Amino acid sequence: MTGLEVRELEAFLVLAEELHFGRAGERLYVSQSRVSQLLRTLEQRVGARLIERTSRKVTLTPLGADFLAELEPAYTALRATVDNVRATARGGEGVLRIGIQGSGSEYLTEAIELFRHRFPACVTEVVEIPLADPFGAVQRSEVDIAAVLLPMGESDLVLGQVFSEKPQMLAMHKGHPLAARTSLSPEDLAEFSLIGVRGPAPHYWRRAQSVDVTPGGRPVPVGPGVGTLQEGIELVAAGQGAMLLCHPTAVFHDRPEVNFVPVTGLAHSRLGLVWHRNRETARVRDFSRAVAAVS
């Protein structure tokens, strides 16, 4: 294939994901009219329409959907092959942008050190991911790979190495009657107003980070919603609610006004590496292997 043909395929893949010519052009660093031109040329080569465009929306035709299903894995494999050869030729040069939600874990620190040792020519950049938007940075190509709290059910993302399975902790103000306890049961959560997460995080993910009813059927009062961990900790310190946190985050945010008490009987929190299905690279896989080696 010529370079122009590859660009046509790239334009189709991005447009199929965005379903918006303007956003597709922004991602491809070309004008909206250029995206339209690339699509028309590709459709002429195929001999049929792949995209339906009206004044209100952009959709895939049935043939376009079939074409996308076959093109995505082939294109991803092709890019991975090129990335592997390029990385070998350059000794692992480039940049790997790693997103971390919250404080991450000790495994991530070790994995980053191991990755840097294995690929000294590759620059690693660590980016903090907001609590309320665990997957957005990967979906918007702001990071190459991210370590986030699970679950993860996004169809456009890949779930890689799962690690740091730890008991959940309840952050509460030190003046709360149960703050001196060495552990809590899920039934005890009914005694607190639980701070939740607001924002663009998927509903299933937000529900997994909180509890609205105990196993015994007692309702758990709903506290304020926050968009960042820091907001949540500040509300806890002010006595305006309690917040469930994973163990590494609780250790990282230790402060005098807040007690962290483990909650036995709840499912453990877990972190997972995620990356975009269409933007997998050799360095992404190498970092996933580094996390697997230390966890």
- Supply the mean pLDDT for the chain: 89
Fold matches, 92-165+271-294 and 168-266: yes
Per-residue confidence (pLDDT) for residue 175, from 0 to 100? 94
According to DSSP, the residues that pair with 262 across neighbouring strands are 169
Per-residue confidence (pLDDT) for residue 292, from 0 to 100? 94
Total-model pTM: 0.68
Contact 127, 100 (CB under 8 A): yes
The tokens describing 246, both together, are: 């994973």
- The lowest-confidence range among 27-41, 72-86, 204-218, 260-274 is 72-86
Q: Which residue has the higher pLDDT, 282 or 65?
A: 65
Strand 157-166's sheet: what is its strand order?
A: 122-129, 94-101, 145-149, 269-276, 157-166
- The verdict on whether omega for the bond into residue 215 sits within 30 degrees of 0, i.e. cis, is no
- The CATH class of the 6-86 domain is mainly alpha
Q: Which residue has the higher pLDDT, 56 or 47?
A: 47
Contact 97, 127 (CB under 8 A): yes
Per-residue confidence (pLDDT) for residue 78, from 0 to 100? 80
pLDDT band of 30, cuts 50, 70, 90: confident
The CATH number assigned to the domain with range 168-266 reads 3.40.190.10
Per-residue confidence (pLDDT) for residue 289, from 0 to 100? 93
Q: Which CATH number fits domain 92-165+271-294: 3.40.50.2300, 3.40.190.10, 2.40.50.110, 3.40.50.300?
A: 3.40.190.10
Q: Which residue has the higher pLDDT, 99 or 4?
A: 99
Per-residue confidence (pLDDT) for residue 93, from 0 to 100? 66
Per-residue confidence (pLDDT) for residue 13, from 0 to 100? 93
Q: What confidence tens digit (pLDDT) does each residue in 141-161 have?
A: 899 999 999 999 999 999 999
Per-residue confidence (pLDDT) for residue 77, from 0 to 100? 79
Per-residue confidence (pLDDT) for residue 89, from 0 to 100? 55
Secondary structure E strands in 50-118: 51-53, 58-60, 94-101
- Would you kindly state where each structural domain of the chain is located, as residue ranges? 6-86, 92-165+271-294, 168-266
Q: What confidence tens digit (pLDDT) does each residue in 87-146 have?
A: 655 545 678 999 998 766 778 999 999 999 999 988 899 998 888 899 999 999 899 999
Strands 122-129 and 157-166: unpaired
Q: What confidence tens digit (pLDDT) does each residue in 233-278 have?
A: 999 999 999 999 987 777 777 789 999 999 999 988 899 999 999 8
pLDDT band of 2, cuts 50, 70, 90: very low
